[in-house]
Amino acid sequence: MRIGLTPNLCALLLTIVLPGCANLRHTADPAPVVRGPFQTRNQQPMALTLMAFRPRRAVTQTEGEWGGGVQVVWSSIEEVNRYNDDNPTQSVAFDGETIRTTFRGRYGVSDSVDVEVELPFLWAGSGGADHLIKEYHSLFGLPDGARDNTPDDDYEMSVTSDGYTLYELEGNTLRAQDIPLFLTWQLLEEAEGVPAIATRLGVEFPTGSEERGLGNGAFDFGAGVIVEKSLDRWTVTGGFDWVFPGDSERLEEAPDGDFHYDPMLSLKLAGEYRWNDFLSLIAGTIWTSRMLHSVSYEEVNREVFDLGWGVAWDTGGSSRLAISLHEDLVSATGSDLSLQLGWAWGY
């Protein structure tokens, strides 16, 4: 089975986007509604087995109220390196497309604390967008990874060392991944000359199948800080977090080396410009440190520097849609291109 950027998918995206473009007139003094940042994360298949803190506002959910959302992210990756002279026993192959659908819920526990849970589902396959992405990278002068060295529209997701499989993602199935739970505590409210500041904790439960490549089979833990400040029609959010992932059984039982996931530092920065009362232009970056230094290939042991840009617009009194395009500027470990579509209510 092959799923990709087909004409039907493009038609669906246009059906969703065009109603939000009905009022594009720029206004001088838009309503102070914060619609960002984008709820994105690293879409590299192996990284999807590990917990990640998404960018969010430093303002917590109203006490006693629920918020929710659904997000669909299509990604393409082609990062392949096999048994070269420096590493004759190791092979890395991430070649294919993924579609990840995540359902989110958030509840205000008190006037300064909320909890949030995610339920993600992942599909992976060969797709059919390799030629399109080559043209896109060529047009904007972006690095092309291994796309010139491998056939178009193949599928393989695996990491091996001396014939032993450290990771492998089963293709052409739709299954649940690990479930993360986050607790956010707002420490400081925004005031004149003072940003809003919040801290958060996270734990990810090993509910996804490690054997099929959907989880790491272990608990992950992390903590971080969020900062937010608005000025006129602009809002800037940022922060940092540390994630301490658990090692999978495959890594622990590998016979030929000390393989383990590294603690990962993530730095986040996003800017929002309110175009009018209903629409915001948003851009953001996420820098994440390497996840697996014990495999020497850059396809798994380099940092990821995600750049995303797009729009978010209101679809009702308490709901909004967002669409964004994402690119790994390092083009070593991360996905080559991701398209993200999300709908949220009650935030």
pLDDT one-digit tens code per residue, 149-201: 566 668 999 999 988 999 999 999 999 999 999 999 999 999 999 999 999 99
Pick from 34, 17, 111, 19: nearest CA to 282 = 34
Each residue of 208-246: pLDDT tens digit? 999 999 999 999 999 999 999 999 999 999 999 999 999
With a cut of 90, say whether residue 281 has pLDDT above it. yes
Residue 88's pLDDT is 80
Pick from 338, 262, 329: nearest CA to 300 = 262
With a cut of 60, say whether residue 18 has pLDDT above it. no
Residue 153's pLDDT is 66
Residue 11's pLDDT is 54
Share of the chain above pLDDT 70, in %: 85
How confident is the model over 36-57, as a mean pLDDT? 97
Share of the chain above pLDDT 90, in %: 75
Q: What's the whole-number average pLDDT of the chain?
A: 89
Task: Indicate the pLDDT class of residue 326, thresholds 50, 70 and 90.
Answer: very high
| Contact by Cβ (8 Å): 235, 36 | yes
> What whole-number distance in Å separates Cα of residue 265 and Cα of residue 261?
12
Pick from 208, 211, 234, 228: nearest CA to 219 = 208
For 19, phi then psi, to 5°, come to -60, -30
With a cut of 50, say whether residue 343 has pLDDT above it. yes
With a cut of 80, say whether residue 8 has pLDDT above it. no
Task: Indicate the pLDDT class of residue 252, thresholds 50, 70 and 90.
Answer: very high
Helices (H), the chain: 7-20, 130-140, 249-252, 298-301
Instruction: List the domains of the chain with CATH numbers.
Output: 7-18+34-345 (2.40.160.40)
With a cut of 90, say whether residue 331 has pLDDT above it. no
pTM of the predicted protein model: 0.88
> What whole-number distance in Å separates Cα of residue 184 and Cα of residue 241?
12
Q: Which of 16-25, 83-92, 185-194 has the lowest mean pLDDT?
A: 16-25
Task: Indicate the pLDDT class of residue 19, thresholds 50, 70 and 90.
Answer: low
Q: Which of 14-18, 64-68, 108-112, 261-265 has the lowest mean pLDDT?
A: 14-18
